[in-house]
Amino acid sequence: MSPKPEKHYAERIGWLRAAVLGANDGIVSTASLLVGVAAAQVAHNEILIAGVAGLVAGAMSMAAGEYVSVSSQADTEKADLDREREELSTNNKFERDELTEIYMKRGLDAKLAAQVSEQLMAHDALGAHARDELGLTEIHTARPFQAAWTSAVTFALGAALPLLVAWLFPGQMLIPWIAGSSLVFLAAMGGVAARVGGANMLIGAVRVAFWGALAMAATALIGWLFGTNPA
Ligand SMILES: [Zn+2]
Instruction: Please list the alpha-helical segments (H only) found in 110-200.
Output: 110-132, 144-168, 174-196
The Cα–Cα gap between 168 and 201 comes to 30
Radius of gyration of the chain measured on its C-alpha atoms: 25
* Å from CA of 112 to ligand 1 middle: 18
* Å from CA of 96 to ligand 1 middle: 8
Q: What percent of the chain shows pLDDT beyond 70?
A: 91
* Å from CA of 86 to ligand 1 middle: 10
DSSP code string of 30-79: HHHHHHHHHHTT--HHHHHHHHHHHHHHHHHHHHHHHHHHHHHHHHHHHH
Helix axes 10-39, 44-90, angle to 10 degrees: 150
Has residue 4 got a pLDDT over 70?
no
Q: Mind listing the pLDDT tens digit for each residue in 37-96?
A: 999 889 999 999 999 999 999 999 999 998 998 899 889 999 999 999 999 999 999 999
* Residues near ligand 1 ion, CB 5 Å cutoff: 95, 129, 133
The Cα–Cα gap between 181 and 16 comes to 22
pLDDT range class, residue 223, cuts 50, 70, 90? confident
* Å from CA of 83 to ligand 1 middle: 9
* Å from CA of 84 to ligand 1 middle: 6
Mean pLDDT of 155-164: 96
Q: Mind listing the pLDDT tens digit for each residue in 160-207?
A: 999 999 999 998 899 999 999 999 999 999 888 888 778 899 999 999
* Å from CA of 76 to ligand 1 middle: 15
Q: What is the pTM of this model?
A: 0.76
* Å from CA of 36 to ligand 1 middle: 54
The Cα–Cα gap between 177 and 169 comes to 7
Mean pLDDT of 222-227: 84
* Å from CA of 95 to ligand 1 middle: 5
* Å from CA of 141 to ligand 1 middle: 18
* Å from CA of 67 to ligand 1 middle: 28
* Å from CA of 13 to ligand 1 middle: 27
* Å from CA of 183 to ligand 1 middle: 49
* Å from CA of 102 to ligand 1 middle: 10
Predicted pLDDT at 195? 83
Predicted pLDDT at 41? 87
* Å from CA of 56 to ligand 1 middle: 44
Predicted pLDDT at 225? 86
* Å from CA of 194 to ligand 1 middle: 36
* Å from CA of 48 to ligand 1 middle: 56
